[in-house]
Amino acid sequence: MTFTGPRPKEPYQIPPGEEVEGPPVTARDPRAWAKENLFSSVLNTILTVVFGFVLAFLTYRFLRFVFVDAEWEIIQRNITNLMVFHFPREELWRVWAALFVLAASAGFGVGAAGTRRAVEIEEGRGVAPGRGMLLRRVAPLVLLVGVLLVAAGSLTATLLVLGVAATAIAFRLLGRRVPARYFRFVALGVLVGIVASYLVITAFGGVPRDDWGGLLLTAFLAVGGIVISFPIGVGLALGRRSSFPVIRLVCTLYIELIRGVPLITILFMSAFALGFFLPPGTERPSLVTRALVALVAFTAAYVAEVVRGGLQSVPRGQIEAAQALGLSPLKTTRLIVLPQALRAVIPALVGQFISLFKDTSLVFIVGLTELLAVAQSITKQPDFLAQGLFVETLLFVAFVYWAGSYWMSRESQRLEQRLGVGTR
Amino acid sequence: MTETALTSAATVAGGTGEAMIVLEDVSKWFADFQALKDVDLTVGKQEVVVVCGPSGSGKSTLIRCINRLEKHDKGRILVDGIELSDDIRNIGEIRREVGMVFQSFNLFPHLTVLENITLAPRQVRHKAKAEANTKAMEVLERVQIPEQATKYPGQLSGGQQQRVAIARALAMEPKIMLFDEPTSALDPEMIKEVLDVMEELAESGMTMIVVTHEMGFARHVADRMVFMADAEIVEAGTPDHFFQNPEEERTKQFLEQIL
Ligand SMILES: Nc1ncnc2c1ncn2[C@@H]1O[C@H](COP(=O)(O)OP(=O)(O)OP(=O)(O)O)[C@@H](O)[C@H]1O
Ligand SMILES: [Mg+2]
């Protein structure tokens, strides 16, 4: 938060020689806690009992289904299909290689960030992370990978995953040795790593992304969509506030048009009508590209609106102070306004990206086989046909989406906490 | 130098006597509302001018016109010989020479104290990082809080924040400093630490225009008092004269209210 009104008072200093009494230590007796919170009144007791019963029943039915009734064979036998679908099996090593590259760059980045954080704490700014914070952060992903491995039941896959994890840890240690002042280059390195992992799969006689499917395609569309739509959305938001009427008009028109149309429509238009917008004679981009364009076009408009809200939240005084110092309008925006605006809207922004991640499931309507489409199609395999295994496959898909979304949401909370330090 | 009342604010009464800021016939409108009416004011090199007057009288507008945070509609403004026009280069040049301190500090909350101070020297004056850092520590020493360099503004008290704001302006090595009610947002016990810094600055020969209601400070530090009401400069004079024998009725009323 930035403030415009009167300033906070000097932090309260304990007068020397005076003992401070902490708050009274509350007993951590579970029975006392339950009595206080769950059974404090008749109404509360009734509520506790009724909802406790409902909850217990639902949990029981759910667990019973998952562990007893459900037939997971369909998932087990199709795990590779669910992950990559028709991706050529002899090229699967590329996906693993990409995972290794990703793990290395992510580990390196996290390690370097840790070092920088340590310096900040030493200098009296920045808060120390809680114990085991990193593990808690990636918990949803670890759970996801665990489930996938159990489903795969393959020793090779398990060993490879362990290798990927070991790589991440090793590179994290390496990243820790990078002095804080070089963090900028590390950030760049991580970006290069992400691009490299894409190239490992596609380049040098690799598999073009039109042959991708399953979770791989879902992840590609989500990551690609986020990475591309974010800068475009920021640009649109700035354009909407531009002092040039033409730019303002174009950006506003674009945002309002896109926001008035359902994503499905945009996907169809991009899949079947994109040709009209391209100069004649250009080759028609592939289906995956067209789907990505639609997702980006859609998300960018929403990102723009979110960012616009952030821009409005930056007090006028900030801009005036920058101007008074002689900063150009461009530098004022880049160095003063945008950083504060983006910080203010992290939760909404990540919410938008979570939406995008889940919305990638819509690309099946233009003929792409991402995770959900694979799940649908495997129920029609001769071995599983007409056995009513929709619940199993849908549950599995839902779990994958939930793990990804929950992870993003937690990262957003953490980022917020971390960036909030200086602005309290 | 004049001991009697100064008839017009256009006569310099302190510093070296050379003109540093000249306003001629400056008028400013917000839509239909006139916020400045034909203001004439000359501020000499190294002179300290304190501007006071009732709320809404146009004090902020006056000093904000000097570094083009507001655009004047009529008249001429010259700062160190450069005329403020629509020419962006002139505006840039003037802003580099004029430091400003705001009532609400306006520190950049996402940057540390050091980064707040080095931002403009590096981005506007294109100084090397090491040089900018050295300069920053120098100005922080001057406002007496070098130990806060790595903190964020939100971790400082109001008085400390305002001193950082002053340091941030000083790091650009301005020839002129404008203060718009720098102590109004502060708790009483922090006002003095900021006024002390400003006094030291005045003694060092900085050209200053200060909008403030701290009359003790004004009496002690100002070379000249300027009283504004209803978008006009009503009266200007040396502090002794201004406080003891104000000539205008509106000035008397105002002084009665605040003293
Ligand atoms: N951006 C603006 N748009 C419209 N009117 C404005 C604007 N800025 C100032 N005004 C008006 O101009 C007049 C002078 O304002 P100014 O801020 O200069 O007064 P001031 O003397 O600094 O008062 P205060 O002691 O309250 O700070 C006021 O009536 C104010 O309402
Ligand atoms: Mg004012």
> Do the chains contact at A343 and B110, CB–CB below 8 Å?
yes
Range in A23-37, A292-306, A391-405 with the lowest mean pLDDT: A23-37
How far apart CA B35 and CA B62 sit, in angstroms, is: 9
**pLDDT, tens only, B143-174:** 999 999 988 898 899 999 999 999 999 999 99
ipTM of the complex: 0.92
Q: For ligand 1, is residue B55 a contact (CB within 6 Å)?
A: yes
CB-CB contact of B223 with B13 (8 Å): yes
A2 — contact with chain B (CB < 8 Å)?
Answer: yes
CATH number of A210-386: 1.10.3720.10
Q: Is residue A75 pLDDT above 60, yes or no?
A: yes
CA distance A356 to chain B (A): 29
Confidence of residue B8 (pLDDT cuts 50, 70, 90): low
CA-based angle B233:B236:B237, to the nearest 5? 175
The mean pLDDT value of chain A amounts to 83
CA distances from A65 to A70, A107, A376, B211 (A): 5, 37, 20, 75
Amino acid at A91: E
The CA distance from B60 to the nearest CA of chain A, in Å, is 13
Q: Is the CB of B122 under 6 A from ligand 1?
A: no
> Where is pLDDT greater, at A193 or A30?
A193
Average pLDDT on B202-214 reads: 93
How confident is the model over A82-117, as pLDDT tens digits?
A: 777 887 877 778 888 888 999 999 888 888 888 888
Domain ranges of chain A: 210-386
Tell me the C-alpha distance between B239 and B64, whole Å: 24
CA A128/CA A151 separation, integer angstroms: 37
pLDDT at A130: 66
Q: What is the pLDDT of residues B15-71, one digit of tens each?
A: 677 889 999 999 999 999 999 999 999 999 999 999 999 999 999 999 999 999 999
Neighbours of A48 (CB within 10 A): 15
Supply the mean pLDDT for chain B.
90
d(CA B63, CA A364): 62
Determine which helix (DSSP H) or strand (DSSP E) holds B211, and give its type and residue range.
strand B207-211
Predicted TM-score (pTM) of the model is 0.84
- Whether B255 and chain A come into contact, CB under 8 Å, resolves to no
Which residue of B lies nearest to A330 if distances are taken between CA atoms?
A: B123
How many A-B residue pairs are in contact by the CB < 8 A criterion?
A: 102
Cβ of residue A317 closer than 8 Å to a chain B Cβ: yes
Ligand 1: centre distance to CA B229 (Å) = 12
Least confident stretch, A169-183, A372-386, B141-155 = A372-386
Check CB contact under 8 Å for A11 and B157. yes
Rounded distance, CA B106 to CA B166, Å?
A: 11
Rg (CA), chain A: 26
For chain A, positions 360-389, list CB contacts with chain B under 8 A. Answer: none
DSSP element (H, E) containing B234: strand B232-237
pLDDT given at position A9 = 45
Task: For chain A, say whether B129 makes contact (Cβ under 8 Å).
Answer: no
CA dist., res. B143 & res. A380, Å (int): 76
Residue type, position A66, single letter: V
Atom of ligand 1 at shortest range from CA of B64: 18
Residue located nearest, by CA, to atom 22 of ligand 1: B60
Ligand 1: nearest atom to the Cα of B231: 14
Determine the distance separating the centroid of ligand 2 and the alpha carbon of B183, expressed in angstroms. Answer: 12
**At B35, is the secondary structure helix, strand, or coil?**
strand
